[in-house]
Amino acid sequence: MITVEGLCKTFKVSKRSAGFKAATKALFKREYTEVEALRDVSFNINAGEVVGYIGPNGAGKSTTIKVMSGILVPDKGKCEILGRTPWNDRINHVKNIGVVFGQRSQLMWDIPVLDSFELLRDIYRVPQAKYKKNLDRLTDILDLGKIIETPVRQLSLGQRMRCEITASLLHSPQILFLDEPTIGLDAVSKVAVREFIKEINKENGVTVILTTHDMGDIEALTDRILLIGKGQILFDGSFNNLKRRYNTFSVLTVDYSGDGNIPEIENINIISKEKGRAVLKIDTKSRSVSSVISQLSSILEIREISVEARPIEEVIVALYKEYQI
């Protein structure tokens, strides 16, 4: 459905040092540096997939999304979406895609949301019956009933984002690009948006490509992630694989009664220890969690025990570190 091959894009970034002298100089001679935003990016995405596109700031995520949505023409490389090259056949291409740019707005500021929706209905030439059906459904799931007649300027960020997402789906696109859709949302709105993305993927078979810095989004939504750093794809695979690879330790919290003391155990770091409670870090490469638990239970009278995998944020940090991005 989506084939990207050898995509390259270089941006010219103007620069000058701070200060009056540099500013005067820049009046006559501008200096530019070249930034390689994409270096040979390739991947395939099949219909119905939910793909998380992650990477640190400035890695090239948004650039890729812009290329795929036909806004940006790359320097080199191929991109075929539903049989079309986005930048060559922009108008036909965009009919099939929906895009949410989390940091921008597509709704008109001073008019009620509904007016913006109706404009989009006409822009995409959506038949009234279909529009009505889509709108009712979206309104229902995203709970827009009360806010749909309010001017956009009076909406909260979470309300607005829900409207933005609705706006991108009114024409029933087959592919949805979400560029940081949960940025700035509170917990409730985030969960609502996630649930919703799941649902349209399941029920309508919409292919979703999602960029985000929120690992919660990734965990809740995606079966596959693409990691990009310094303009290159560094990892392409299932999220569980990634976790397995980087889950090199687990954290064990033990509550116990009595005066027993935690002995020094091989391959285990004691993070904290107080009376009746200890937090241990287990190197899961060399020891299984269960063997540690059985060893502990032979020494201590355990009241409660909990095991936590390495937090996903840390996995990502480790990943970025490994690839030096």
Partner 1 sequence: MRPYISAFRVRFLNGLQYRAAALGGLATQFFWGVMAIFIYQAFYISGGVPQTFNFSQLVTYIWLQQAFLALIMLYDWDSELFEMITSGNISYELCRPCNLYGFWYVKLLSKRLSSAALRFSPIIIVALLLPTPYKLSFPQSPVTFLLFIATLMLGLLLIVAISMLIYISTFKTMSPVGSMAFIGLVGEFFSGMTIPIPLMPEWLRAVCYILPFRWTADLPLRIYSGNIGVNEAVISIGVQFVWIIVLASAGAILMMRVTRRIVVQGG
Closer CB to partner 1, residue 102 or residue 158? 102
66 touches 7 (CB < 8 A): no
Give the distance, in angstroms, between the CA of residue 188 and the centroid of all CA atoms in the same chain: 17
Quick check: helix, strand or coil at residue 98? strand
CB of 314 to partner 1, least distance (A): 26
Residue from 42, 85, 105, 172 touching partner 1 (CB under 8 A): that is: 105
Of 37 and 225, CB closest to partner 1 = 37
Q: Return the SS3 of 146.
A: coil
Give the pair of three-digit tokens for residue 90.
Answer: 């922009």
Nearer to partner 1, 213 or 243 (CB): 213
Return the number of the residue (1 or 108) whose C-beta is nearest partner 1. Answer: 108
> According to CB under 8 A, which one of 43, 53, 101, 246 is a site residue for partner 1?
101
What are the strands, taking DSSP E only, across 73-151?
76-81, 97-101
Pairwise CA distance, residues 120 & 106, whole Å: 10
For the bound state, the minimum distance from the C-beta of residue 240 to partner 1, rounded and expressed in Å, comes to 30
The answer to whether 275 contacts partner 1 (rule: CB under 8 A) is no
> 86: closest CA among 97, 102, 75?
97
Say how far residue 31 (Cα) sits from the centre of its chain: 34
Least Å distance, CB 188 to partner 1, is 24
DSSP letter string, 238-301: EHHHHHHHH--EEEEEEEEESS--PPP-TTEEEEEEETTEEEEEEETTTS-HHHHHHHHHHHSE
- Under rule CB under 8 A, residue 106 binds partner 1: yes
Among 64, 69, 166, 250, binds partner 1 (CB under 8 A): 69
Task: Please identify, using beta-carbon distances, which residue of 106 and 172 lies nearer to partner 1.
Answer: 106
Among 125, 146, 275, 321, binds partner 1 (CB under 8 A): 125
* Listed residue (141, 211, 127) closest to 172, CA to CA: 127
Stretch that binds partner 1, among 113-121, 227-235, 242-250, 274-282 (CB under 8 A): 113-121
User: Within positions 202 to 231, which residues make up the interface with partner 1, using CB under 8 A?
Assistant: none
Residue type, 269: N
Query: If DSSP codes are grouped into helix, strand and coil, which group holds residue 72?
Result: coil
Closest separation in Å from C-beta 74 to partner 1: 11
- Taking the complex as a whole, how short is the minimal distance between the CB of residue 91 and partner 1, in angstroms? 5
Q: Binding to partner 1 (CB under 8 A): which residues in 9-68? A: 11, 62, 66
158 to 187: interface string for partner 1, x by CB under 8 A: ---------------------xx-------
The answer to whether 255 touches 271, Cβ cutoff 8 Å, is: no
Centre a 10 Å sphere on the Cβ of residue 230 and count the other Cβ atoms it contains: 17
The long-range contacts involving 239-242, CB below 8 angstroms and separated by at least 24 positions, are 239/52, 242/315, 242/319
Q: Which tokens belong to 206? A: 């919409």
Specify the stretch interacting with partner 1 by CB under 8 A; choose among 40-48, 117-125, 221-229, 311-319.
117-125
Determine, following the binding rule CB under 8 A, whether residue 70 of this chain makes contact with partner 1: yes
CB-nearer residue toward partner 1: 121 or 224: 121
Element (H, E) at 307: strand 301-309
**Binding-site ranges for partner 1 (CB under 8 A):** 11, 62, 66, 69-73, 87, 90-92, 94-95, 97, 99, 101-106, 108, 110-111, 115-116, 118-119, 121-125, 179-180
